[in-house]
Amino acid sequence: SLIVMVGLFKENTKIALDSIRSQALRTSLTVMIIAIGITALVGILTVVSALENTILKDFASMGANTFSISQYDFSSEINQNDTEQRVNPIISYPEAKAFQDKFNFPFTTTSLSFTAGSAVEVKYGEKKTDPEISIVGVDENFCPNKGLEVVKGRNFNSFDIANNNYVCVLGSDFEKGLFENINPLDKTISIRGAKFKVIGVLKEKGSTFGNSQDLRVLIPTQVARSLFSAPNINYDLDVMVTNEGLLDEAVDDAIITMRRVRKLNPIEKDNFGIERSDDLIQTLLSNTAVLGISAWVIGIITIFGSSIALMNIMLVSVTERTREIGVRKSLGAKRSTIAWQFFTETLIIGQIGGIVGIILGILIGFGIASAIGFAFTTPWMAIIWAFIVTFAVTILSGLIPAIKASKLDPVEALRYE
């Protein structure tokens, strides 16, 4: 009986495929409808997973055991629209310095930095850069605390900082620009007429949210302060906790220290922001979760629409082929055989649509991800789900027409013209 079953199955599938071929236009339209739904789903999920990867990669390089003190706390502002917008005072140099001196929590290093200029021209000999270089005043702890790696030469040491040496560390883009095919180490560049010796080059970082981190020149804080004397410069404090278990306590201690520096009384709220690198990751990931959910909603609506279309097409097909069904029934085809024939057709059309959709979705996702510069990964989950969804959709939309076809009365069906 098994051989008979297999034979029937093969025969049925062949008939189903033939009828799909004979209805090429209708089939291809249905395939397209299903494919669009799956494409939307897979495409968005692909972009979302690429986004998550990029966020995690970007912030893993910052180190999960760092936190920073700045004028505002951006990680909480992404989520909450604070009704009472407080204007926090900037963190001035004396405050930043006082914090650095007073904060002596074990296993921590604090770096003090500020962006001295953002559209600065840097020269090397006769060559000069586009004026879009940012100059950052830093100390010896800045690179490790920010997760920046010096790949050529060396980072600043405490001696450079204490003696205000005119030395600098360059972002990786300088090797494509000013120092093409030249080893930048020990060369002298000039910034606003001051000469700096290059002691190191940073590892390529890429751009985070649009501003390139590779077009930066790091110079010692005091030197930067003497060259760029703008009013109201805002300083950043970054703290790295080498013992991760102590992160919470270190943050609490930093808040207390900063409140002491600012002489806040106990009932006043903090007028500065503390941002933990792990908070920021959570905030951003919760935002991508919303994107993921919306992808599902869009995908499911589209797929729901396509399943209705598929069911319609199969029902029309049943009506059109009433005569054929009648002939097959009167020749002894069982109800199950007829039902299976129609069911197979739906299933094949659905799966072709699914495969086309998955391929298109991944291609679109990959395109968007590489255009924005996200780290692309093959979204296996999305693919598996797309398969499950198309399978479920085709089963649901295939059953009704198949049952309808199998219930036709052969005598009535033969009379039908």
Q: Which residues contact 42 (CB under 8 A, 6 or more apart)?
A: 299, 357, 358, 360, 361, 362, 365, 379, 382, 383, 386
Mean pLDDT for the stretch of residues 356-361: 83
| Dist CA 185 CA 179 (whole Å) | 10
Percent of the chain exceeding pLDDT 90 equals 0
Residue 49 burial (C-beta neighbours within 10 Å; 0-12, 13-18, 19+): buried
Res. 61: pLDDT tops 70: no
* Percent of the chain as helix, strand, coil, to the nearest 5: 55, 15, 25
The alpha-carbon radius of gyration of the chain (Å, integer) is 33
Residue 127: pLDDT band (50, 70, 90) is confident
**Does pLDDT of 63 surpass 60?**
no
Whether 210 has a pLDDT exceeding 60, the answer reads no
Q: What is the mean pLDDT of the chain?
A: 76
Q: Residues 107, 246: contact at Cβ < 8 Å?
A: yes
**pTM surpassing 0.75?**
no
Quick check: 195 pLDDT over 80? yes
- Provide the pLDDT confidence category of residue 81 given band limits of 50, 70 and 90: low
pLDDT band, very low/low/confident/very high, at 271 (cuts 50, 70, 90): confident
Share of the chain above pLDDT 70, in %: 87
pLDDT of residue 230: 72
User: Would you state the structure tokens that stand for residue 400, as one six-digit string?
Assistant: 């009704």
Q: What is the mean pLDDT of residues 269-293?
A: 73
Q: Name which of 41-50, 89-98, 132-141, 214-223 the model is least confident about.
A: 41-50
pLDDT at 79: 47
- How large is the average pLDDT for residues 388-399? 77
For the segment 290-307, the average pLDDT, to the nearest whole number, is 76
